Structure 1
């Protein structure tokens, strides 16, 4: 539970950073007219806000999405999104956002009217009325200034010159008040047409001359160029042909300058794209070489490790076999000597029939252990080694992609880990069967051991999306062999993760009972068959199985757990239901010591 809570807190800490990143991508792409990338980032931000229940953010991103559709002339989709989000915006009582939605709807209809869409003028008329009604009560001068410019453009487009002039001039006053000086030249340009239609050329000229001064101070070349052209028209209408000609020359000079600037920008963009592509190609080549070297190093390392492990296990098996055969020959000689002595001195020496039978059974058990050991090695070790050889042969292929090599490297890592677990369990089991257990009881911190093994298993759990929840209470002490108990806990947690599907849950917990300490490990995995549980609890080797992601398993791990817990004076039990999960429960003698 603590682990899950920590993960939730950590994820919420990164949410603002995710929004900032998406907004930067959307804004920079919009300014570059890369509307596809801008739309993709904004849609992702809106969906994230929706999943987190952030209504105001969701509505803000919906507004931006509708504006992107307007910019790409997908007018129907833009209107649909606006109408879909207006009721929620009204309910939220965000007047500024509501005003922006109405302004945007009017802007969409205005652009449709410019492109002669049927019915666009009537829709624009209605949208202007709705927007004016909302903006009148919104209290935002910025929203009202943008609306007035849009309204002036509509009135100008429909030949209502006086209304257009009044709307533009009211917008100009607001722009001055708000400090939006660099946007004034554009309004002055739009104001020229209705003033000229009303034969108010001198007023139009005054506005244009003021606008070109602002554009020149701000360095906005496009406004300078367009304003110079309109100034020449105004002088021509006033009959000052000399001034009109002078401003026509100024217009042509600015037009050439503007064209050269655009050409330079295009050349710089082409050069930047070329440099970027060249850099990407170099990075791709370097990455491919590094991946190839990394794969080679991993391959050599895995081969060496597997060779060493295989040689070690075979050497141990050979030594145990030789020791058993030597013991058998020695006991056979001793038996022959005893038989001869019994025959010669039947009164002085007797050997009980039960003792002879016991020795024979021990010899038979030793041979059975040897046969079982070689059977497991032949069945479980041959498969992984063959799979590793096949995977390494694939790595030598030069036409594998980087993704295929990475996938193959992950598979090699899983094979090596599974083979290592197999060899460790074989060594422990073979040693226990041949030489018996050597238990060294001591006071151990059971809580610390559980926490340590949960931490070690966390990467494997995260790889499968499994929640590993540690509910084991702190400060529980037991009296047992620490190495044995540590191996048991590690085997049980690893086994739970291995047989739990993606998105499952593994829980560790425990309690104190009279004279003993209880530990359980519960999972939501695939469960166990009753016959396999019986074999484990009776010490029989279970056939190897595969985990939910084809992780190799071996039947020795759980048998070792049962035998180690039993050797430490504890109990080992299994409860399982197919398709619902398994619970392993162990008890150990409690320690009299306390923290």
Structure 2
């Protein structure tokens, strides 16, 4: 009931062919690339052994990464890893290989074969001391029971998995199980019960702290809210999920998110927008193999096209959905697509075909209605039996605890006596520890004072260095020009020709002195941050006005994309310095006729501000030095403008004092984009102010 095992020799040939054939495909996926590279290294090693468990594990992990991307590769790799695991009696390898083979059959729609392989993995895990693998095999087996329509067995398996996961504190697996149970209730349209489990999952995800887990849950909740016609909740959840999957390039989940967003717009009656997002999902589906997910997408596109009176296009999508649903025996998909095909054929006066699809729809609808009622009863019965068994175990446990109370009381008395003895011993120890602590404290104070003096000395040296190098030069040049003019060696006209350059130098000196004052104050622990409700757009406009002359001299376009009512919670003086430094830097490194854009993305709790230019860009090495506290890295601008290397260090300090963070994206010849976050001025902050 599963793929025939390759012999060791035949398996090696298949694996090598697979690696060579798919090498270019994997170049876009770092995780698969990494595994392929690792396998190639292992095979080239002089002491390579085909039966090495490290090599077998690499094959298993690579097969897992191929799911939803290349099912043939999953089959080849999984059968090879299973064959090798059996030869060396590697139980962990056998369990994980059976799970991968089960996943292959599940995605092919061959539920019985999938259940067989997942069940083999579960049976092997019983005698193997690895609770995590036991829970994983139970989850896969129960999920396949739900695909089969046996919801009672699915729920029973999930509940057993929860018992083990809670006992072993497997938080990630608990999150997955509860989300799968929520999905079971969604199929029954029991939204209250489904949302109860989704909320449990959200609490677990907070403990896990992985944004990908949170995004997966929110995308599933978005789909549920769409089915409940709570479309604003649905849109909020899906918009929170999409950026995470786009950033991490998780294509299968991103395709699902785009499909859910299309469904939300479809329910809103915005069919053109629905089709737009469905097409985004369709393009991603070309890179993955997920027939169940594709059915919902195709039916959605068919319905949106039908609403837009594009009947021929609608029929193509509905027919594709119908064919795939029949192929993998997906009853819900057959029901939805046959209903659409009935409507389309009826509209085209093709009554014979319309009648045949209507009969299919009616048969499938009645079957699902009867099946759903039975499933709901079975789920309720299973849950009640589980609760009764759990309650019985609790009662038996309480009886056992009551018998142990007498022994516990005796033990407590002995423990108290022992505790008194320990206290006496500890008292003597504490006297010695107190003396040691006093010595250590005095030593620590001396070290801290020495460190503080060293920092002050470094600050002094840096100040003198900047004053001597970056300020003395322009001032000396200015003095020289004045002397030449005063002594008559330079005419008034010649002197006036230098005025524009003198103004630029004086502006640079003023800007540098301003940065030095703030930096010096912060280094001497004299800088305080006083947050208030601040209008970001006003600060940006003021700085753009101040720097407009420099921009005009280089014919650089300054663009402000910040909304007029964008309010943040920050120290306005410090934000002013941050904006001025970032804009000044951008002007410095942007060539003539360039463009600088400053904007802000208002998120739920904070505001992400960016300054983008199309200037020189930076190397990875340069970016690594930008925000270092003690760095004095200076680069000349496109017109040989000078700098102290101090501005970005000052920006970092002030952003962090305002509860934000700062970073940069850049590449040589492609410009630079500086980003920093600042808390938004929410009602809480306004009341505080």
Do they superpose with TM above 0.5?
Answer: no
Bigger Rg, structure 1 or 2: 1
Tell me which of the two structures has the higher relative contact order, counting C-alpha pairs closer than 8 angstroms and 6 or more residues apart: 1
How would you bin the TM-score normalised by the shorter chain? Answer: 0.3 to 0.5
